[in-house]
Amino acid sequence: MSKDIKNKNLYYLSELKDYKIAGGYPDIRGWVVRDADKRVVGKVDNLLINKNLDRVVYVDVEVDQTIIDSRHDPYGKPADPEIKEFVNKDGQNHVIVPIGLVELEEGEKYIYTSRITHQTFAETKRIERGANPDRHYEETVLSSYNRSVSCRKRRRASPTPKRRGICR
């Protein structure tokens, strides 16, 4: 993660004392996060703001223990040879999710994404709480989430067992 504060473009809402949730919008911090199958994958810990845009661009998710326990094998056969594998370390229990990929269930106080599966969350590079995500991390996460979408599309288009094996 980036330690270069001069080039920092993402800030946690909790860091910005002059920022608050806009009127008419719920504060989703603390809400449960669910995946495409509505399984719990974590909870919203914070929101990431791009100060140049004055907008929330990511949800910072503290992942559920089931994500950590799934034990992603970086040395196994990769689902996509274009994706570089990694090892998540102890203490790395947060992922970022683009705000445009989540929907709110205000009555039940949870957010969900219809585009990211439990397995994709488990296979996504994580960071420590409060780490400053740099552009490289953003790109890694986005390519992981895009893989999930393209895999589901391929499965629907060609449901043969061989095709299913490509996208875990």
Tens of pLDDT along 15-41? 999 999 989 999 999 999 999 999 999
- How many domains does one find in the chain? 1
- Give the residue, 31 or 65, on which the prediction is more confident: 31
pLDDT(49) > 80: yes
C-alpha distances out from residue 137 to 74, 124, 140, Å = 17, 10, 5
Closest CA to 39 of 66, 5, 57, 17: 66
Q: How many Å apart are CA 80 and CA 64, to the nearest integer? A: 25
pLDDT at site 79: 53
Residue type, 42: G
Residue % of the chain over a pLDDT of 70? 71
Which pTM does this prediction carry?
0.76
Q: What are phi and psi of 2, to 5 degrees?
A: -70, 135
Q: How many Å apart are CA 131 and CA 52, to the nearest integer? A: 19
Which of 39-48, 66-75, 97-106 is least confident? 66-75
Domain span at 71: 5-166
Instruction: Provide the pLDDT confidence category of residue 103 given band limits of 50, 70 and 90.
Output: very high
Question: Residue 38 belongs to a domain with what CATH number?
Answer: 3.90.50.10
Query: What DSSP state is assigned to residue 6?
Result: G
Say if residues 28 and 42 touch (Cβ distance below 8 Å): no
